[in-house]
Structure 1
Amino acid sequence: MPAGGRALLALLGLPALLALGCAADSDFAEGGPERRRPGPGPACPRDCGCSQEGVVDCGGIDLKEFPLLLPELTNHLSLQNNQIEEIFPEELARLYRLETLNLQNNRLTSKGLPEEAFEHLENLNYLYLANNKLTVAPKFLPNTLISADFAANYLTKIYGLTFGQKPNLRSVYLHNNKLSDAGLPDNMFNGSNNVEILIMSSNFLKYVPKNLPPALYKLHLQSNKLEKIPKGAFSELAGLRELYLQNNFLSNEGMDNETFWKLSSLEYLDLSSNNLSQIPSGLPRNIVLLHLEKNAIKVIDRDVLTQIKNLEYLLLHNNKLKARGIHPLAFQGLKKLHTVHLYNNVLERIPSGLPRRVKTLMILHNQISEINRNDFATTYFLEELNLSYNKLTSPQIHREAFRKLRQLKSLDLSGNNLHTVPFGFPKNLQVLKLKENEISIIPKGTLSGMTKLRELYLSNNKLKVNSIYSRAWRELSSLQSLDMAGNQLTSIPLGLPESLEYLYLQNNKITTVSENAFESTPKIKGIYLRFNKIAVGALKESTFQNLKHLQVLDIEGNLEFSTSSKNKDDSEEEMEDEEEEEEEELR
């Protein structure tokens, strides 16, 4: 713009910014500079986006170098997802108002990050350096920091002032690095007492770090090499709510009775995938969810759990528990405990003294061979019971074993050694799974009164049409899904309930489908007859024409004859002739 023009604007009292705006408009109209993200002026780097509020976004534009001459008033700078290898301290020093610096997912090395890089950033609150190639942390970071993310680097060393002397610091992310005990200073958070979140998972630590910040409420130390928790390591963490210690090498010898006792606010404790042989003593009363799976726990003593009055979820699967190793009073007084996982242990029977208010009990994949009359006599609130893949036989399930389970909705007895459907199922069941047994008969009365049953799974058994008592299905007035795949049925079962929507009969020996096979099931949506022995002529359109809700009819993989009018003997002879011709060709 000519000098006279500027003078005229000044005389008219118009701001200089207006002149800049006019120039930008003029350039755009003439197709001058290349298109770039919207920016307030010429100081915005190429391909970056700049706002009047001081936000500069240069993320994901394949930058090889730190951009030069950034606007001095920048307060939020995004440089993530580039290929930057080096930072120039003098360029950063210009950005004295910078509050957020995002450099994650670049190629920064410790050599390319000088010690004085952040020295003059006296307003920096948020620093993101995750997914780079740093081997040592910066010796100094501004004391204004609120959050620092160094995850997924190659860090082996932290310095005293990396995170120390930062009263505003709230969260530190150091997971997926190569940190060992020797690489941490004794007072890593000296003067940074307000840190609430510390993530140090997936490193090489053998001991819990010393002098942890007292304000912590979330501490991640999983997937390290932890062998021991030093005495008093958690004694000052009264506000800690979540503690993750899974996938380490912790044993009972590596902790004592007071290790966790002072964690009075602890609600979530994960000790899974360690080397525990018993449940640690001295666990605090406010734990809600306790992970102890994938250890080598053999016993549950009387007093190790009873003080945890707020316990709701107890996960003990994949251990070495036997029923006799569980004290009959081990769960006494745990009135909030509603979910217990005991699967993949070596239980030979149902343990005594199960929690009285348990709603979900998972005891699958054990060695249970019998269910006695009073095994579930006190678990009135049970809603889901999984006993699949044990060693149960029909005679060893007492007819009155489930009599008190009036709220039971789901029962799974799949993968056992049942030869007949047992008696005595609770009448309020909604889901019953009996698949992968040896069931060859459904005796009269075994399904009586189960008017709320919606799903019945009987696949992969040895059922035949005449081994199911008449009117068996009529009694299941709410049944929506019936799975009888992989049995020995030769025809569609008769008298299916009116409520049925899905019928699974694949992998049977069905040869014919009568015209009235589905008269009793007007609501049916899916019929699965794949891999049977149904000839083309055996299926008539009239069989399905009144099924207004039918969406899926699967008849793939059945026997198909070229001429449906031929009789069975002619068809068999034709097939034999074809086989002989094929054998001659092979010779």
Structure 2
Amino acid sequence: MQLSLLLLLLLLPPGHLPTLVLEDPTFPHLGESSQPPPRACPWRCSCPQVDTVDCANLDLQVFPNNITKAARYLKLQNNQLQELPYNELSRLSGLQTLDLHGNLISSEGLPDEAFESLPQLQYLYVAHNKLSMAPQFLPRSLRVADLAANHVMEIFPLTFGEKPALRSVYLHNNQLSNAGLPPDAFQGSEAVTTLSLSSNRLTYLPPSLPASLERLHLQNNLISKVPRGALSRQTHLRELYLQHNLLTDSGLDATTFSKLRSLEYLDLSYNLLTTVPAGLPRTLAVLHLGRNRIRQVEMEQLRGARGLRYLLLQHNELGTSGLPARALRPLRDLHTLHLYSNRLDRVPRGLPRRLQALVMLHNRVATLDARDLAATPDLAELNLAYNRLVSARVHRRAFCRLRALQSLDLTGNQLTRLPTGLPTSLRVLRLQRNQLRALEPEPLAGLDQLRELGLAHNRLRVGDIGPGTWHQLQELKVLDLSHNELSFVPPDLPEALEELHLQGNRISHVGPEAFLSTPHLRALFLRANKLHMTSISAEAFLGLTHLRVVDTADNPEQVLVTLPPSASQQLRAGGS
């Protein structure tokens, strides 16, 4: 540049030297390209892109000015805004996303014409504000509208009507009654797939819902009835949530769900039903009927739902006569059956052969015969906790045909000895809160895949544990012997053991050889025993290089624990 300027000066006639403006920031330097002026951005906000203005989480009380007309995405969530000025919004005709959730905007602060000037708006988020009415007019371009968690009592025909691109509407946690929801609320909006009306004040299922719906949330209302034909057009519906309502048997009929040929998930829990609804579609995969008053399940009620995989009937009033043999026979593909907290005094007969999970805790089952579980060879999880099982009434072959069983929970029964004939496939066995007084090696023989054994809250003493009891438990990682009557650490524990619970016993001394057989131990719980400061031998933890937790709290004295250097660097000891 200096050479070019010098030649120019030499070529000009005397007295015609040009006037030069040097270092003027408004002009580019000679030989340099022009740079655009910096973009305007509202004070305290950020504008990472030319079309994005982010003013979120700033406690703003006034709508920001100086927003670029090029804005497509405006973020104003989590502020203190009380109103939207029309003159500011009218400038932003290209806006596609407007996020206003978490403010203080009332219906008075949202003028009717607020969104008329936003013909390209697709995503509107006004959740968690103070709206008492929905906006009367929203743009036809809208795809997602979120007005959840306001005080909305009324919506209007053109709030969501005549919106051909509308896909999702969220109105949950408002104060909508059926009177506030006009029958033509979604007329002309035939692409809506998700509608959430949960936690409102609806007393019956609204009519004229979009035929395009795939997910409909109506939980936590006051619905006692589904009018005949209310769901006859929703042939694309896949998920229907009606839990926590006031539905009775008379509020449903055989045609209520029969036209829903795409329905996969139906939640009717926490209602007042006494029977399983009729007319269930064969596409149904999950049926949730927990927390009703169901006393009877009949085969005819389930005949149509042949594709059912999960049937949840917990917390009802089912007795054994209410679930007769073969009532569940049509459900050939049933995977999981929840029957806990009912009044069953035995395992139901005629369970589906392919059943893999049976959960029956908190019933009245007192007997297990040899054939009760014989028809379910694929069962992988069996939970019979908190029933009335006694050892004398558990047949020695009750479990022997369950060759795929991995988890067996018999917690909270009245067993005095381990069941026999346990499947060798078991990985988890829970027997806590029984009355076990002895452990013998025979019932545990062959359980070489067992990883977790729960024996807490029984009456076991070290002398009642037979020699070789742990011998075949080659994969056991977790052993819970807490809250028994042990006076010292049981010998010859499984070599693979990583977690040992001995809290709440009577242990007063831990000798140098207590853990020689468990070199992989990572966590040891000895709290609430009878240990004193020098009760644990200094050599007790030698070789336990993986030990990370030693809990010795709540003993008569603070316990002195000596650890090998490799373990002590990462130790988390309680009360030691």
| Corresponding residue of 2:51 | 54
Q: Deviations over 1:243-263 (max 9, x none)?
A: 111111111110110101111
Q: CA RMSD in A?
A: 2.4
Q: Deviations over 1:316-344 (max 9, x none)?
A: 11111112211322222423211111111
Quick one: percent identity of the two aligned structures?
46
Check whether the contact 2:453–2:479 (CA below 8 A) recurs between aligned residues. Answer: yes
| Corresponding residue of 1:510 | 507
| Corresponding residue of 2:536 | 539
Quote the Cα distance in structure 2 between the aligned partners of 1:463 and 1:383. 28
Check whether the contact 2:444–2:469 (CA below 8 A) recurs between aligned residues. Answer: yes
Quote the Cα distance in structure 2 between the aligned partners of 1:534 and 1:67. 68
Using the TM superposition, name which of 422-431 and 289-298 deviates more.
422-431
| Secondary structure of the structure 2 residue equivalent to 1:417 | coil
| Corresponding residue of 1:199 | 196
| Corresponding residue of 1:577 | none
Q: Is residue 454 from structure 1 mapped to residue 443 from structure 2 by the alignment?
A: no
Quote the Cα distance in structure 2 between the aligned partners of 1:552 and 1:56. 50
| Corresponding residue of 1:584 | none
Quote the Cα distance in structure 2 between the aligned partners of 1:90 and 1:231. 48
Q: What TM-score comes out, normalization by structure 2 length?
A: 0.89
| Corresponding residue of 1:180 | 177
- How far 1:462 moved relative to its partner? 0.7
| Corresponding residue of 1:232 | 229
Quote the Cα distance in structure 2 between the aligned partners of 1:6 and 1:463. 89
| Corresponding residue of 2:389 | 392
Match among 287, 291, 296 for residue 293 of structure 2: 296
- How far 1:465 moved relative to its partner? 1.6
Q: Letter of the aligned partner of 1:459 in structure 2? A: A
| Secondary structure of the structure 1 residue equivalent to 2:107 | coil
Q: Letter of the aligned partner of 2:448 in structure 1? A: T
- How far 1:466 moved relative to its partner? 1.8
Q: Is residue 41 from structure 1 mapped to residue 29 from structure 2 by the alignment?
A: no
The structure carrying a bigger helix percent of its residues is 1
| Secondary structure of the structure 2 residue equivalent to 1:547 | coil
Q: Letter of the aligned partner of 1:330 in structure 2? A: A
| Corresponding residue of 1:311 | 308
Quote the Cα distance in structure 2 between the aligned partners of 1:544 and 1:10. 78
| Corresponding residue of 2:154 | 157
Q: Letter of the aligned partner of 2:142 in structure 1? A: L
Check whether the contact 1:187–1:210 (CA below 8 A) recurs between aligned residues. Answer: no
Match among 360, 363, 370 for residue 363 of structure 1: 360
| Corresponding residue of 2:472 | 475
Cα 1:168–1:394, aligned 2, differ >3 Å: closer, same or farther?
same
| Corresponding residue of 1:556 | 553
Q: Is residue 89 from structure 1 mapped to residue 81 from structure 2 by the alignment?
A: no
- How far 1:154 moved relative to its partner? 0.5
| Corresponding residue of 2:257 | 260
Using the TM superposition, name which of 541-550 and 77-86 deviates more.
541-550
Check whether the contact 1:460–1:487 (CA below 8 A) recurs between aligned residues. Answer: yes
5 Å-filtered alignment, 1:6-405, equals: 18=35, 21=37, 40-42=38-40, 44-50=41-47, 53-405=50-402
Q: What TM-score comes out, normalization by structure 1 length?
A: 0.87
- How far 1:7 moved relative to its partner? 10
| Secondary structure of the structure 1 residue equivalent to 2:392 | helix
- How far 1:558 moved relative to its partner? 3.4
Quote the Cα distance in structure 1 between the aligned partners of 2:559 and 2:333. 66
5 Å-filtered alignment, 1:478-497, equals: 478-497=475-494
Quote the Cα distance in structure 2 between the aligned partners of 1:536 and 1:71. 73
Using the TM superposition, name which of 165-174 and 422-431 deviates more.
422-431
Quote the Cα distance in structure 2 between the aligned partners of 1:88 and 1:561. 68
- How far 1:519 moved relative to its partner? 2.6
Q: Letter of the aligned partner of 1:141 in structure 2? A: L
Quote the Cα distance in structure 1 between the aligned partners of 2:27 and 2:152. 60
Quote the Cα distance in structure 1 between the aligned partners of 2:441 and 2:25. 102
- How far 1:136 moved relative to its partner? 0.8
Check whether the contact 2:333–2:354 (CA below 8 A) recurs between aligned residues. Answer: yes
Quote the Cα distance in structure 1 between the aligned partners of 2:356 and 2:59. 54
Check whether the contact 2:372–2:398 (CA below 8 A) recurs between aligned residues. Answer: yes
How many residues are aligned here? 539
Q: Which blocks of at least 5 consecutive residues in structure 2 are unaligned?
A: 1-20, 561-576
Q: Deviations over 1:403-453 (max 9, x none)?
A: 110111111111011122222222221111110111112245222222222
Q: Letter of the aligned partner of 1:381 in structure 2? A: D
Using the TM superposition, name which of 432-441 and 545-554 deviates more.
545-554
Q: Letter of the aligned partner of 1:393 in structure 2? A: V
Check whether the contact 1:323–1:352 (CA below 8 A) recurs between aligned residues. Answer: no
| Secondary structure of the structure 1 residue equivalent to 2:301 | coil
Quote the Cα distance in structure 1 between the aligned partners of 2:558 and 2:71. 78
